[in-house]
Chain A
Amino acid sequence: MKIALGPLLYYWPRQSTLAFYADMADAPVDVVYLGETVCSRRHELRLSDWLEVAEILTAAGKEVVLSSQVLVESESDLKSLRRIVANGHFRVEANDMGAVHLLSSGDTPVRDWIAGPTLNIFNPTTLDLFAGLGATRWVAPPEMSREQIRALRDGLGHHMEVEIFAHGRLPLAYSARCFTARHYNLQKDTCEFRCLEFADGIPLKTREGAPFLTLNGIQTQSARVHTLLGDLPAVCAEGVDILRISPQGAHTPEILQLFRQALDGLIPPADALHEALPLLPAEPCNGFWHGRPGVELRLPN
């Protein structure tokens, strides 16, 4: 079982971001997804910077993937997308159908790319179709349950690596509107880059003070941290190939370490979960995996 570091969903200052990835060179992670997937206004790192990070991590023995932006709106978004697709070296995670189109059409289609979690691939017929277009790995939508993932795998006609969202605040929704800018009564076009101030996004609570969601620019996340640390025996039994850990503001290396140790049988998964709890920015949840509302927590037996 491989461990992947998902794309950084937050907007951190340049030096923090570079330091974070420098640490990843020594972290127990096999695959690293790089690039800005949430907001085209975020530019602390440009594509050329991401490519430099990619080279460093490749030299450290990591498999590097460039992730494309989820919501593509403008001609300039499409230009950025074309540069990522044509990078000529690193595999690409397609996060919208425009990326799929660019990867799979033209004179020299790419034959080895990753179907990202926002492509809404929920059934084997559709995944086989993408396999035929060159996808070799599928990242399941986070809302899919264990049973749904198993049924999809069982129905596949192609070999396909399967990756699931195993740890982090759930990326639940995307909008044309920026909720961080809205909070400050700013327009998106003149947002003053307020996202830089929140390493884990901005907490949103109900009117009785219960944490509910997290505002992260145009993305809305869960407040709770989805984690399958305690469910690893079941996850392994499903034949999942890769676990995605989503970067959090602090303690990501420790979380990666706990996943690795639990997978290697060095500590029981329930103990790993227990050790992880103080490292999380909020309460845990794992409902989606169990076919329940995502907000729920099912503890291991």
Chain B
Amino acid sequence: MTSSRPIELVCPAGSLPALKSAIDHGADCVYLGFKDATNARNFSGLNFDDKGMAEGIRYAHDRGRKVLLALNTYPQADNWQRWTGAVDRAAAFGIDAVILADPGLMAYARKTHPDLRLHLSVQGSATSYDAINFYHEHFGISRAVLPRVLSLAQVEQVIASTPVEIEVFGFGGLCVMVEGRCALSAYATGESPNCDGACSPGKHVRWEQTPKGMETRLNGILIDRFADGERAGYPTLCKGRFEVNDETYYAIEEPTSLNTLELLPELARIGVRAIKIEGRQRSPAYVAQVTKVWRAAIDRVLAGGQPFRVEAAWMAELNKVSEGQSHTLGAYYRPWK
């Protein structure tokens, strides 16, 4: 399988309705996960059992679209078979590619299913062409998803120095930490993105109205406190307000979403092959809205002709579904660092 379009739009599917919503609104690919810790959105009520997977793949393939399976957490000695079993199931389902992070699992996939297309997950923390070429040389990966840490010029340098297709995040919740290099949730709750596929998991969250305001806690740790009238956000632990040298502020990151729509022509010019939309934990309505806008924008860029202009209506639509109703260019914009 080779990529059929110059830039693929890769959309999140946390459920079958979200998958259909993405396909119906113009996604070239959807990515999804099984209902367990083998993927980095291991949340209750999300993801696919075998029946849903078969139906989702059929729905996509009938319409000429692709389905990618995220198996992007790190297996351990005592649960190794669950991950290899997931690779086997994916291959049997006729999935278009698996998105992996663990080198041992890649070796397994390459050996057991030589024709299965492999993508390197963002959880692999590969931020340079030397890192990406390691996975290419040993496991023949076809594509790598870049962590949200590089500037545009750095992404361009990577693309120029690797035969591997490059996928970048275009929109959605923003991990301020390098993906795969964050154990904050493990420290606070014992559940980690790397091994459990969870960050700041819901079962550790407590919302409490107090005389000082609405308090949000993660495993007892106060993540933020909201005055009346302030919109209380989910206590993702890097997005709380903390005290540093007697100053209280969003010390790590504000609740905000990544939005690179305005960079789209540049991303196309430097040879980015796919744009990923974050949000498998979000609703089918979110998926529809974001997919629709990005489809229109990508089609505009690919059509060429007039200089690309971001429509005000597009931004308004995207801001409506952004975390904290605001957005950032993240690391693409140097001062953000």
Contacts and interface: CB of A to CB of B under 8 A. Distances in A.
Contacts of B225: 207
Given A101-B134, A126-B104, A293-B219, A170 B124 contact: no
Nearest to B80: A123
Contact of B137 (A99, A101, A204, A215): A101
Contacts of B177: 173-175, 220
A170 B241 contact: no
Interface stretch (B29-37, B85-93, B164-172, B242-250): B242-250
Interface in B101-157: 101-105, 107-108, 124-131, 133-135, 137, 148-151, 154, 157
A126 B104 CA distance: 4
Interface in A248-300: 287-288, 291-295
Interface string B229-263: 00000000010111111011001110000000000
Given A122-B75, A173-B182, A173-B183, A212 B157 contact: no
A72 B131 contact: yes
B124 to A, nearest CB: 7
Contacts of B180: 120
Contacts of B80: 123, 125
Nearest to B181: A174
Contacts of A213: 184, 242
A256 to B, nearest CB: 25
Contacts of A179: 251-252
A120 B101 CA distance: 9
Interface stretch (B60-68, B190-198, B279-287, B295-303): B190-198
A71 B177 CA distance: 11
Interface stretch (B19-27, B310-318, B329-337): B329-337
Contacts of A294: 183, 186-188, 190
Interface string B257-298: 000000000000000000000000000000000000000000
B62 to A, nearest CB: 37
Category for how many chain B residues contact A: 35 or more
Contact of B222 (A170, A176, A208): A208
Contacts, number: 217
B54 interface: no
B234 to A, nearest CB: 17
B228 interface: no
B178 interface: yes
A236 interface: no
Contacts of A208: 222
Nearest to B331: A176
A241 interface: no
B90 to A, nearest CB: 18
Given A71-B149, A151-B78, A210-B221, A287 B190 contact: yes
Interface in A134-157: 141-143, 147-148, 151-152, 154-155
Contacts of B192: 143
Interface stretch (A4-12, A58-66, A182-190): A182-190
B241 A98 contact: no
Given A148-B77, A175-B176, A222-B187, A129 B125 contact: no
B126 A97 contact: yes
A292 to B, nearest CB: 6
Contacts of A242: none
B306 interface: no
A71 B76 contact: no
B244 A175 contact: no
B248 A71 contact: no
Contacts of B28: none
B128 A98 contact: yes
A215 B103 CA distance: 31
A127 B135 CA distance: 15
B202 to A, nearest CB: 16
A204 to B, nearest CB: 5
B30 to A, nearest CB: 26
Contact of B74 (A123, A151, A174, A204): A123
Given A96-B131, A101-B134, A174 B221 contact: no
Nearest to B182: A173
A30 interface: no
B224 interface: yes
B335 A187 contact: yes
B244 A215 contact: yes
B102 to A, nearest CB: 6
A152 B240 CA distance: 35
B125 A73 contact: no
Nearest to A75: B157
A96 B103 CA distance: 13
B38 interface: no
A228 interface: no
Contact of A172 (B124, B137, B184, B219): B184
B189 interface: yes
Interface of B: 74-78, 80, 101-105, 107-108, 124-131, 133-135, 137, 148-151, 154, 157, 176-178, 180-184, 186-190, 192, 194-195, 219, 221-225, 238, 240-245, 247-248, 251-253, 331, 334-337
Q: Which 8 A-B pairs have the closest CB atoms?
A: A126-B104, A125-B104, A151-B77, A98-B130, A176-B149, A101-B134, A97-B131, A294-B187
5 contacts: A130-B103, A202-B244, A204-B243, A207-B242, A288-B187
Given A98-B127, A174-B181, A183-B251, 5 more contacts: A71-B178, A100-B131, A122-B75, A179-B252, A207-B243
Interface of A: 70-75, 77-78, 81, 96-102, 104-105, 118, 120, 122-130, 141-143, 147-148, 151-152, 154-155, 170, 172-179, 182-183, 187-189, 202-210, 212-213, 215, 220, 222, 287-288, 291-295
